[in-house]
């Protein structure tokens, strides 16, 4: 009797779900995945870092790196004249490369606004450009059928009330000096400014699909969710644009819905990132070379294969890739960025079926040697990406009796197969590598 009682108690205890995660709203997991459906399907976007830092052309953190004052930085505002700016061209290049959305820096840490904000004169409208560059971006990208995202820097090194902190260009060597340096800065004024500008961005440009806020550093003499009033800010964002997808840099990790996705930056994740005890939506942001803003003399450009691996590997772990271009001061793309985009276009033109709508393959499918695997759960097709092209044959270990048909994706040509070792299937491949950087085999399952 006692034993039955204890067993019953125990099973009741086990059935109780783990303490519910703290939330700001009441959206269910299902509702969230429906809201994010286009984004998880599309997988590939373009990040665009463009601002006054394109003129010095030596990193968008130049003000921090070289401790440049507002006065000394003013010359770039005076010279800003992007006569070659043609966002339709940008959009066409993004589209050709297979990117389905784009996120533009409406304001970066330097504080300069590409949009016509009524709360500042530190904006494109007051330069030789003389117009709202964000509006043109939005119109051009929408016209090409791409979704539109705004990056907005929470940090602002130009605003007179943004307090000097550990990242600021005017940061002191001796921490005892912060108080004196900040005595005339009223951060409340900045808080309001920040809120007003986010409101403008989400009110004046129609539907905005993604909001990318950047970033928090809650250490001593840093900035946290309390400084940004993140809870309030996010509530406003969700109210103004109910469908919008928001990144994770507001320092609201305490809440499961304090962000829609996580943003591993400039590194590769080992596996699909987990948060709150489950696989979490993620997007890795990456540069072509070592800087986000246009950097003339930086030469560590990734090659085509590295870029394609970045994209494919990301999808193979259930994530998105946001790949950055830093346009020049005159407003167009550097030839190196153009080259990389063209190479990606060539590949995507015939292989994008292994990217869109795809994700990590179910556990029962092992990744064959030297390859990357993606899977489309709707069509139930597997994609084997041949990162190192094998010679003559490829073993799919454990795939026996699972494969109905196999073909190259780029030309739809049949790949014959027979039983192999280890319950596997032997794909009989041509010895010559097809003319694609990373050929893809499409496997139609039984
Ligand atoms: C960073 C940097 C930055 C860049 C961004 C992109 O945190 O501050 O310059 O805009 O992340 O992810």
C-alpha distance from residue 351 to each of 242, 319, 384 (Å): 34, 18, 11
**Domain with residues 6-17+24-354, CATH architecture:** Alpha-Beta Barrel (3.20)
- Determine which helix (DSSP H) or strand (DSSP E) holds 137, and give its type and residue range: helix 133-143
Residue from 292, 322, 324 to probe ligand 1 pocket by mutation (most atoms less than 8 Å from CB)? 292
Q: Which tokens belong to 332?
A: 């167009």
Q: Which tokens belong to 291?
A: 């800087």
Strands 101-107 and 371-376: unpaired
- The Cα 267–Cα 281 span in angstroms is 16
CA 133 to chain centre: 21
Q: Which residues share a beta bridge with 210?
A: 149, 245
Tell how far the Cα of 182 is from the centroid of ligand 1, in angstroms.
Answer: 25
Tell how far the Cα of 49 is from the centroid of ligand 1, in angstroms.
Answer: 9
Mean pLDDT of 251-280: 97
Tell how far the Cα of 219 is from the centroid of ligand 1, in angstroms.
Answer: 18
Tell how far the Cα of 186 is from the centroid of ligand 1, in angstroms.
Answer: 25
Tell how far the Cα of 214 is from the centroid of ligand 1, in angstroms.
Answer: 7
Is-contact 156 109, C-beta < 8 A?
yes
- The Cα 264–Cα 170 span in angstroms is 28
- The Cα 151–Cα 332 span in angstroms is 19
Tell how far the Cα of 442 is from the centroid of ligand 1, in angstroms.
Answer: 36
What ligand 1 atom has the least distance to the C-alpha of 266?
12
- Is it the case that residue 16 has pLDDT exceeding 70? no
CATH code, 371-445:
2.60.40.1180
Instruction: Collect all residues with Cβ–Cβ distance below 8 Å to 186 and sequence separation of at least 6.
Output: 161
Is-contact 195 237, C-beta < 8 A?
no
Tell how far the Cα of 61 is from the centroid of ligand 1, in angstroms.
Answer: 9
- Is it the case that residue 303 has pLDDT exceeding 70? yes
Is-contact 41 317, C-beta < 8 A?
no
Q: Which tokens belong to 183?
A: 């005595």
C-alpha distance from residue 143 to each of 1, 92, 367 (Å): 72, 10, 39
Residue from 106, 155, 265 to probe ligand 1 pocket by mutation (most atoms less than 8 Å from CB)? 265
| Closest residue by CA, ligand 1 atom 11 | 214
Mean pLDDT of 334-357: 98
CA 446 to chain centre: 35
Tell how far the Cα of 102 is from the centroid of ligand 1, in angstroms.
Answer: 15
Helix (H, G, I), strand (E, B) or coil at 20: coil
- Is it the case that residue 14 has pLDDT exceeding 60? no
Tell how far the Cα of 150 is from the centroid of ligand 1, in angstroms.
Answer: 13
Is there a common fold for 6-17+24-354 and 371-445? Answer: no
Is-contact 370 386, C-beta < 8 A?
yes
What ligand 1 atom has the least distance to the C-alpha of 324?
6
Tell how far the Cα of 443 is from the centroid of ligand 1, in angstroms.
Answer: 39
For 318-340, b where at least 16 C-beta lie within 10 A, e where not — what string?
A: bbbbbbbbbbbbebbbbeebeeb
- pLDDT tens, residue by residue, 353-379: 999 999 999 999 999 999 999 999 999
Q: What is the pLDDT of residue 420?
A: 80
- pLDDT tens, residue by residue, 46-92: 999 999 999 999 999 999 999 999 999 999 999 999 999 999 999 99
Q: Which among 114, 227, 233 is positioned nearest to 168, based on CA atoms?
A: 227
- The Cα 228–Cα 68 span in angstroms is 24
What ligand 1 atom has the least distance to the C-alpha of 61?
9
Whole-angstrom distance between the N-terminal and C-terminal Cα of the chain? Answer: 51
Is-contact 99 322, C-beta < 8 A?
no
- Is it the case that residue 19 has pLDDT exceeding 60? no
Report residue 443: phi and psi, to 5°: -115, 120
Is-contact 253 234, C-beta < 8 A?
no
Q: Which tokens belong to 243?
A: 């469908």
Tell how far the Cα of 261 is from the centroid of ligand 1, in angstroms.
Answer: 16
Mean pLDDT computed over every residue of the chain: 95
Q: What is the pLDDT of residue 422?
A: 76
Is-contact 143 221, C-beta < 8 A?
no
| Closest residue by CA, ligand 1 atom 3 | 292
What ligand 1 atom has the least distance to the C-alpha of 265?
12
Q: Which tokens belong to 168?
A: 């600021």
Residue from 54, 215, 251 to probe ligand 1 pocket by mutation (most atoms less than 8 Å from CB)? 215
| Closest residue by CA, ligand 1 atom 10 | 292
Helix (H, G, I), strand (E, B) or coil at 139: helix
Q: Which tokens belong to 50?
A: 């463009």
| Closest residue by CA, ligand 1 atom 4 | 292
Domain ranges of the chain: 6-17+24-354, 371-445
For 174-190, b where at least 16 C-beta lie within 10 A, e where not — what string?
A: eeeebeeebeeeeeeeb
Q: What is the pTM of this model?
A: 0.95
- pLDDT tens, residue by residue, 203-237: 999 999 999 999 999 999 999 999 999 999 999 99
Residue with tokens 């990040």: 47
Q: Using a 6 Å CB cutoff, which residues line ligand 1?
A: 49, 60-61, 214-215, 265, 285, 292
Confidence of residue 2 (pLDDT cuts 50, 70, 90): very low
What ligand 1 atom has the least distance to the C-alpha of 214?
7
Q: Which among 153, 69, 56 is positioned nearest to 103, based on CA atoms?
A: 153
Mean pLDDT of 9-25: 63
Residue from 169, 214, 251 to probe ligand 1 pocket by mutation (most atoms less than 8 Å from CB)? 214
CA 308 to chain centre: 16
């Amino acid at each position: 009797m006692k034993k039955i009682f204890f067993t019953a108690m125990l099973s009741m205890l086990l059935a109780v779900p783990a303490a519910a995660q703290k939330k700001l709203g009441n959206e269910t997991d299902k509702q969230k995945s429906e809201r994010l459906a286009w984004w998880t399907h599309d997988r590939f976007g373009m990040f665009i870092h463009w601002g006054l830092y394109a003129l010095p052309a030596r990193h968008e953190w130049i003000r921090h790196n070289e401790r440049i004052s507002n006065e000394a930085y003013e010359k770039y505002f005076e010279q800003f004249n992007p006569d070659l700016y043609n966002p339709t061209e940008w959009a066409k290049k993004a589209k050709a490369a297979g990117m389905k959305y784009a996120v533009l820096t409406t304001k970066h840490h330097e504080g300069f606004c590409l949009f016509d904000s009524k709360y500042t004169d530190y904006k494109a409208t007051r330069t030789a450009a003389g117009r709202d560059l964000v509006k043109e971006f939005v119109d051009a990208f929408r016209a090409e059928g791409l979704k539109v995202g705004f990056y907005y820097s929470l940090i602002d090194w130009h605003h007179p009330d943004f307090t000097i902190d550990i990242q600021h260009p005017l940061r002191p060597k001796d921490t005892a000096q912060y108080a004196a340096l900040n005595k005339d800065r009223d951060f409340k004024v900045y808080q309001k400014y920040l809120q007003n500008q986010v409101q403008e961005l989400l009110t004046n440009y129609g539907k905005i699909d993604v909001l990318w806020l950047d970033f928090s550093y809650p250490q001593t003499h840093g900035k946290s969710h309390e400084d940004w009033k993140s809870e309030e800010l996010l509530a406003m964002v969700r109210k103004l644009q109910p469908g919008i997808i928001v990144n994770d840099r507001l320092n609201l990790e305490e809440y499961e819905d304090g962000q829609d996705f996580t943003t591993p930056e400039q590194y590769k994740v080992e596996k699909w990132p987990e948060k709150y005890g489950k696989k979490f939506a993620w997007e890795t942001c990456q540069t072509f070379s070592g800087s986000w803003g246009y950097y003339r003399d930086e030469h560590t450009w990734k090659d085509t294969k590295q870029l394609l691996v970045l994209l494919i590997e990301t999808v193979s772990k259930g994530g998105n890739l946001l790949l950055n271009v830093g346009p020049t001061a005159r407003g167009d793309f550097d030839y190196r960025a153009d080259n990389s985009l063209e190479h990606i276009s060539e590949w995507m033109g015939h292989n994008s079926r292994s990217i869109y709508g795809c994700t990590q393959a179910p556990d029962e499918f092992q990744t064959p040697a030297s390859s990357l695997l993606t899977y489309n759960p709707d069509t139930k097709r597997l994609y084997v990406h041949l990162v190192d092209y094998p010679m003559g044959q490829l073993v799919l270990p454990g795939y026996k009796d699972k494969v109905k048909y196999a073909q190259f994706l780029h030309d739809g040509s049949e790949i014959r197969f027979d039983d192999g070792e280890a319950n596997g299937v032997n794909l009989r491949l041509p010895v010559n590598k097809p003319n694609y950087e990373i050929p893809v085999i499409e496997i139609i399952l039984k």
